């Protein structure tokens, strides 16, 4: 059986990528609407809202936990300025 759930599909990063430096992030849950939004304030002051429908936020949590298990040194990375910010 093929899993066609978009949350479980790899993202095609070959398209033009936009890189945004986040200054602050906040998760907001709408219990009535059954969705979660990730609010990001960029280092330029722009506010971006990303809506995660249904249970997709939990899929993100599982991916983060999987990365932490497979590559524990990620947790020790310190913030640093990116030279290729767009």
- Please tell me the pTM assigned to this model: 0.52
Per the structure block, which two tokens stand in for 22? 């986040």
Q: Residue 44: is its pLDDT beyond 80?
A: yes
Per DSSP bridges, beta strands 35-42 and 47-53 are antiparallel
What per-residue confidence (pLDDT) applies to 59? 77
| Nearest by Cα to 50 from 25, 73, 70, 33 | 25
* pLDDT greater at residue 84 or residue 53: 53
Q: Residue 60: is its pLDDT beyond 50?
A: yes
Q: What are the distances in angstroms from CA 57 to CA 8, 50, 53, 78, 85?
A: 12, 11, 8, 25, 26
């Amino acid at each position: 059986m093929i899993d066609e759930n978009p949350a479980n599909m790899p993202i095609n990063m070959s398209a033009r990528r936009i890189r945004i430096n986040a200054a602050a992030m906040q998760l907001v849950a709408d219990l009535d609407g059954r969705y979660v939004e990730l609010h990001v304030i960029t280092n330029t002051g722009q506010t971006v809202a990303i809506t995660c429908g249904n249970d997709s936020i939990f899929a993100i949590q599982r991916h983060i936990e999987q990365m932490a298990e497979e590559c524990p040194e990620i947790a020790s990375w310190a913030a640093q300025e990116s030279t290729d910010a767009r």
